[in-house]
Chain A
Amino acid sequence: MATSETPTSTQANPGLRSDRSSAKYTREKAIEIGLLSVATLAVVSIALIFTLLIYQGFQGLKIFGGTIELSDFWSTTIQKQEIVRKPDGGVKTNTDGSFVYETKTETGYDWQPTSSSKAKYSLVPLIIGTLKVAVPAAILGSLISIFVAIFLSELASPQVREIVKPALELIAGLPSVVVGFFALVTIASFVQWMAHMPIIFDILSQTPVLNRFFFPACTFAQEDPLQQICLQRAQGIGAAGTYLNTLVGALGMTLVIIPVITTIAEDALRSVPNSIRDASMALGASRWQTAFTAVVPAAVSGLTAAVILGLGRAIGETMIVLLATGNASILSPNLLESGRAITATIAAELGEAVAGGDHYNALFFIGAVLFLFTFVLNIIGEIVVNNARQKLRGGG
């Protein structure tokens, strides 16, 4: 600042505090106040958003004058018409061919906010849907990103770094709707193709436990013998995957969070003092031995923070889950089945929910829940990062 007036002076604030009447002081002060107000604005908007979410969200609750019980966000008791089946599993029909129904009462975990009988607002399927995308994405994204970060900070030559870094920044700049579209069109076909490879299909559908979480879709060609095998096995565990599923969403999400995690992880690795590297090298360790046995353990809390912040981003991301996961609000743990995330629910439904109605308020409520999720994750991430920095500075 003001280098034209004092081109030779590089020391900070020459004469600023002593000469309060000068025009320079006034200008500096004005800039300072301007910047402060901009910073305050950011903080105030966050506070306002949070207040609005809580205020509007809680208005729907019975205790605040709405009609939704707090327990409705968990489950509701519903009366359901069910088709009567014969002992062999066939369907019982009347003489005119129509089905026979009976009424059953059960506890339902349904998200059916515009039902014509009774609106149902269970958050359970939405939270499952959110986690089914975010957790696998965070795990996969972290594995890739941390290795990339180690490579970039410890092993890569400056020339290689100059190519890889901007490439990562380019990915960070990809609009998530583009990634979502890519997932919908390309990743979905790829996942289906992979899951249908005979060896992979056998492993996924036959290994106990694994088949609960990765049972493929039975969308082989009708004449393919695997189709019948798939259907039989699917019946055995009571679920089969679908073309659009949470794994497709998770893979797309991985692309988006890789730059987030890599940047923070690389920061963490670079802030490890060189003394640690030098000590390791002096003891005869090679560069990659140093990286994995000395630098990574020293930066472990910074790396943890990177993973947590990546998870936070994955939970809050909207477009990818909206486009690629099928958005069915089901309870299945199978990653190859559909799932409905909180973010996608808000994006899809808020536009046409009647302002001030129960549905509208419920969407604000789940928005508040989402905010709380990411807020807590970010706080934890920040705390871990700060601890890591202090430990390295204090101990180094």
Chain B
Amino acid sequence: MLRTSVKSVAIALSALVLLTSSVLAETITVKGSDTMVNMAAKWASEYSKVNPKVQVQVSGGGSGTGIKALIDGQVNLANASRQFKPKEISTAESNGITPVEIKTAIDGLAVVVNGNNPVKKLTYDQLSAIFTGQITNWKDVGGKDAPISLYGRENSSGTYEYFREEVLGGKDYAASTKVLQGTAALADAIGKDVNGIAYGGVGYFATRKDIVTLDVKKKGGFVNPMLKGQINDRAISQGVYPISRFLYIYSNGTPSGEVKKYIQWILGPEGQKIAGEEYVPLNKNTAMRELKKLEG
């Protein structure tokens, strides 16, 4: 959280500088998810090279913050790592705002353990029992006789919420879960704790040698979000790997004018290439479907 807020401050400052340097240009304001803030900032800076007349200002603060800003009509676009909740839609409608959802990238969540842990694969059933604190020893899931040490995210995080709904079936996390600030801190902790287990965006774990992403099984077979040291784009974007979520941009009504052009660019090859640096780009069919949405 700390890292991302520092980043968002830096981005806000640079946005301010850009703003003052080009008062005449049209500006698009974007606010929301901390998960997406790096990617969104990169989109903004690359897009200003393609289309210098348009300035895109990006700030973070969390999905909820961005959604609220869109509802209040303060921004053109909201970044969100989760969908609108029914209550938020009704508030938006009473404000005369019609949120339109556009998928922009896919975030695959990996479950990771220390490299020395012999356990390399777990089912949803086992993951749920582990993270709710029902299974507390690795031997119950085919590992050594050692206590399981749980690590997770803050309860305000979209990742926390998504993983709970998707994998734990909505049940509460065990109270003994150690809560760290951000996925990078989780990666560090798992690297040091031989009995640890954690979850988080696969991009954060892809380069680490001391931790292992687990094969996960929902219904079919076991799938790993990594393949030969690379993020397994195909498995994640086709939904073969089960723990993944879309990253969204929301606009008020079907976007038009410069905003529409900007989103078209994001869904196009250049925008998707940037998305692929940290996350998984949309597969072709999904990208086409999202582009069609823009035509109303």
Question: In the assembled complex, how far is the CB of residue A346 from the closest CB belonging to chain B, in whole angstroms?
Answer: 11
Question: In the assembled complex, how far is the CB of residue B182 from the closest CB belonging to chain A, in whole angstroms?
Answer: 11
Q: Is the C-beta of B52 less than 8 angstroms from some C-beta in chain A?
A: no
Partner of B179, one of A117, A177, A328: A328
Q: Closest residue to A93 on the B side, CB-wise?
A: B125
Measured CA separation A323–B189 after assembly (Å): 12
Q: Is the C-beta of A156 less than 8 angstroms from some C-beta in chain B?
A: no
Measured CA separation A243–B191 after assembly (Å): 12
Q: Is the C-beta of B140 less than 8 angstroms from some C-beta in chain A?
A: yes
Q: Is the C-beta of B272 less than 8 angstroms from some C-beta in chain A?
A: no
Interface residues in B155-179 by Cβ distance below 8 A to A read: 155-157, 160-161, 164-165, 170-173, 175-179
Chain A residues near B178 (CB-CB < 8 A)? 242, 244, 326-328, 338
B: contact size bracket: 35 or more
Question: Once the chains bind, are A117 and B175 in contact (CB under 8 Å)?
Answer: no
Measured CA separation A375–B177 after assembly (Å): 31
6 contacts between A and B (CB under 8 A): A97-B123, A227-B146, A231-B146, A242-B193, A326-B178, A348-B156
Question: Once the chains bind, are A99 and B156 in contact (CB under 8 Å)?
Answer: no
- From B13-21, B128-136, B224-232, give the one contacting chain A: B128-136
Task: Give the number of residues in A that approach B within 8 Å (Cβ atoms).
Answer: 49
Once A97-B123, A218-B146, A219-B194 are accepted as A-B contacts, the answer to whether A352 and B156 lie under 8 Å apart by CB is yes
Measured CA separation A117–B172 after assembly (Å): 8
Question: Once the chains bind, are B154 and A348 in contact (CB under 8 Å)?
Answer: yes
Question: Once the chains bind, are A81 and B155 in contact (CB under 8 Å)?
Answer: no
Measured CA separation A348–B195 after assembly (Å): 25
Question: Once the chains bind, are A91 and B140 in contact (CB under 8 Å)?
Answer: yes
Q: Is the C-beta of B73 less than 8 angstroms from some C-beta in chain A?
A: no
Partner of A112, one of B62, B123, B135, B172: B172
Task: Report B's interface with A, CB cutoff 8 A.
Answer: 1-2, 61-62, 64-65, 68, 116, 123, 125-126, 129, 132, 134-135, 140, 144-147, 149-150, 154-157, 160-161, 164-165, 170-173, 175-181, 189, 192-195
Question: Once the chains bind, are B62 and A351 in contact (CB under 8 Å)?
Answer: yes
Which applies to chain A's interface (DSSP): helix, strand, loop or mixed?
loop
Q: Is the C-beta of A361 less than 8 angstroms from some C-beta in chain B?
A: no
Chain A residues near B192 (CB-CB < 8 A)? 243
Question: Once the chains bind, are A352 and B62 in contact (CB under 8 Å)?
Answer: yes
Chain A residues near B195 (CB-CB < 8 A)? 218-219
Question: Once the chains bind, are A81 and B171 in contact (CB under 8 Å)?
Answer: yes
Chain B residues near A338 (CB-CB < 8 A)? 176, 178
Chain A residues near B132 (CB-CB < 8 A)? 81
Measured CA separation A214–B145 after assembly (Å): 22
Question: Once the chains bind, are B172 and A330 in contact (CB under 8 Å)?
Answer: no
Question: In the assembled complex, how far is the CB of residue B31 from the closest CB belonging to chain A, in whole angstroms?
Answer: 13
Q: Is the C-beta of A354 less than 8 angstroms from some C-beta in chain B?
A: yes
Question: Once the chains bind, are A116 and B156 in contact (CB under 8 Å)?
Answer: no
Q: Is the C-beta of A240 less than 8 angstroms from some C-beta in chain B?
A: yes
Measured CA separation A242–B195 after assembly (Å): 10
Question: Once the chains bind, are B179 and A240 in contact (CB under 8 Å)?
Answer: no
Q: Is the C-beta of A98 less than 8 angstroms from some C-beta in chain B?
A: yes
Q: Closest residue to B156 on the A side, CB-wise?
A: A352
Question: In the assembled complex, how far is the CB of residue A101 from the closest CB belonging to chain B, in whole angstroms?
Answer: 8
Most buried by A among B68, B145, B157, B173: B145
Once A116-B164, A328-B177, A348-B179 are accepted as A-B contacts, the answer to whether A83 and B125 lie under 8 Å apart by CB is no
Once A114-B156, A222-B116 are accepted as A-B contacts, the answer to whether A322 and B181 lie under 8 Å apart by CB is yes
